[in-house]
């Protein structure tokens, strides 16, 4: 058995490299000439020759921003497309992608620049819906506004609330969704193709500075905003049941109509560890695990919605562990 080895290019002082899709390699180096270099590798089917294309952002007067990304396959490469953040100058951050011909295309600029001390991102690619991109654009140095694209960055429009419409636009409502670069964010905020869950800020709301829950139940451009402070918001049955803990009261809160009306149960919870659906024939059972840090006690609740057609439901029981 023999192996053919090809020496295509020689680079020195490479600190890291990332295979960001099968035919692209991103190089990180301390040498400015090499830093932010992308090698595209392709094989021609006729003669099996290997060819390469080298893209160097420094030569284009730009540099890539890799500081906030830790998982390139999750955040840069999605649905067969490769995305990358590029600084066009010291204050202008843009989102670029490579097309099928490995040409660099600008999608949108004026991305909001976060301080890098947390996992907040200016963009997130929807992992379940092809071509859907969320972007936080800079309004000023302190405020960002969230825009969404449904055509892979060709067009962006601002996120708007379902309950305001033209009235909101006249008042210049500004919604900023909290976008984060983490696997937990992707897992928890995109439970289904037709359901997206975000926390965010309505910069023109009466209680400016407070975070709200924003939920999209379809592929449209309008969002439901929950004025209630709901923690551990969990959605079941494609929006038929919303369950969580009231942030101010600590009580179990639930809704059967996608958050338009909320009901509560007189159980005071401390720190919810998890809300878990239980498999049961002809039953809709949900377990809630709560932890009291002061007493170091876990409590286990089971909620039965199987015979519930309104806001009344039964608590099957609770046990302290």
Average pLDDT on 294-320 reads 63
Question: 147 and 43 share a domain?
Answer: no
For residue 208, is pLDDT > 60?
no
Question: 198 and 289 share a domain?
Answer: no
For residue 222, is pLDDT > 60?
no
pLDDT at residue 209, as a whole number: 52
For residue 156, is pLDDT > 90?
yes
Question: 191 and 221 share a domain?
Answer: yes
More confident residue, 321 or 117: 117
More confident residue, 56 or 301: 301
Number of domains the chain contains: 3
Report the alpha-carbon distance of residue 130 to residue 103 in Å, rounded. Answer: 20
Report the alpha-carbon distance of residue 276 to residue 150 in Å, rounded. Answer: 32
Q: Which domain holds residue 252?
A: 228-320
- Tell me the percentage of the chain whose pLDDT exceeds 70: 56
Which of 110-119, 259-268, 290-299 has the highest mean predicted lDDT (pLDDT)? 290-299
Question: 241 and 131 share a domain?
Answer: no
Last residue of some domain: 227, 254, 273? Answer: 227
Report the alpha-carbon distance of residue 284 to residue 306 in Å, rounded. Answer: 5
Which candidate, 127, 121, 119, 65, places its Cα nearest to that of 96?
65
Average pLDDT on 151-162 reads 85
Question: 193 and 269 share a domain?
Answer: no
Report the alpha-carbon distance of residue 171 to residue 167 in Å, rounded. Answer: 6
Which value, to the nearest 10 degrees, does the dihedral of the CA atoms of residues 231, 121, 118, 62 take? Answer: 180
Of the given ranges (139-143, 234-238, 297-301), which has the lowest mean pLDDT?
Answer: 234-238
Question: 46 and 65 share a domain?
Answer: no
Close Cβ partners of 257 (under 8 Å, ≥ 6 residues apart): none
Question: 186 and 243 share a domain?
Answer: no
Backbone angles phi, psi at 24, to 5 degrees: -130, 135
Average pLDDT on 285-294 reads 85
- Tell me the percentage of the chain whose pLDDT exceeds 90: 7
Question: 101 and 222 share a domain?
Answer: yes
Report the alpha-carbon distance of residue 79 to residue 192 in Å, rounded. Answer: 16
More confident residue, 49 or 138: 138
β-partners of residue 27 are 17, 37
Report the alpha-carbon distance of residue 146 to residue 163 in Å, rounded. Answer: 17
For residue 211, is pLDDT > 60?
yes
For residue 242, is pLDDT > 60?
yes
Question: 310 and 209 share a domain?
Answer: no
Last residue of some domain: 207, 227, 247? Answer: 227
Question: 162 and 102 share a domain?
Answer: yes
Question: 33 and 23 share a domain?
Answer: yes
For residue 264, is pLDDT > 50?
yes
CATH number at residue 295: 2.40.128
The band of 189, judged by pLDDT with boundaries at 50, 70 and 90, is confident
Q: Are 120 and 112 in contact (CB under 8 A)?
A: no
Last residue of some domain: 227, 248, 280? Answer: 227
Question: 82 and 161 share a domain?
Answer: yes
Average pLDDT on 53-67 reads 58
């Amino acid at each position: 058995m023999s192996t053919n080895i090809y020496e295509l290019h020689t680079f020195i002082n490479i600190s890291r490299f990332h295979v960001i899709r099968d035919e692209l390699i991103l190089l990180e180096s301390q040498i400015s000439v090499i830093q932010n270099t992308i090698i595209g590798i392709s094989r021609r089917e006729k003669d099996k020759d290997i060819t390469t294309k080298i893209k160097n952002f420094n030569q284009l007067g730009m540099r890539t921003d890799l500081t906030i990304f830790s998982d390139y396959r999750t955040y840069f490469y999605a649905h067969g497309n490769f995305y990358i953040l590029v600084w066009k100058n010291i204050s202008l951050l843009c989102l670029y992608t490579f097309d099928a011909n490995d040409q660099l295309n600008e999608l949108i600029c004026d991305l909001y620049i976060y301080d890098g001390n947390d996992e907040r991102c200016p963009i997130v690619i929807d992992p379940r819906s092809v071509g859907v991109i969320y972007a936080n654009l800079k309004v000023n140095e302190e405020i960002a506004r969230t825009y969404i694209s449904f055509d892979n960055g060709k067009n962006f429009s601002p996120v708007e609330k379902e309950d305001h419409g033209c009235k909101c636009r006249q008042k210049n409502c500004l919604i900023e969704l909290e976008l984060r670069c983490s696997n937990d964010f992707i897992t928890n905020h995109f439970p289904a193709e037709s359901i997206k869950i975000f926390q965010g800020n309505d910069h023109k709301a009466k209680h400016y500075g407070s975070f709200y829950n924003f939920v999209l139940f379809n592929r449209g451009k309008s969002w439901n905003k929950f004025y209630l402070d709901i923690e551990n918001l969990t959605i079941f049955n494609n929006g038929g049941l919303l369950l969580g803990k009231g942030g101010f009261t600590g009580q179990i809160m639930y809704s059967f109509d996608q958050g338009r009306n909320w009901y509560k149960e007189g159980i005071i919870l401390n720190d919810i560890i998890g809300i878990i659906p239980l498999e049961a024939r002809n039953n809709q059972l949900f377990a809630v695990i709560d932890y009291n840090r002061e007493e170091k006690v876990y409590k286990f609740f089971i909620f039965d919605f199987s015979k519930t057609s309104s806001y009344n439901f039964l608590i099957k029981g609770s046990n302290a562990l």
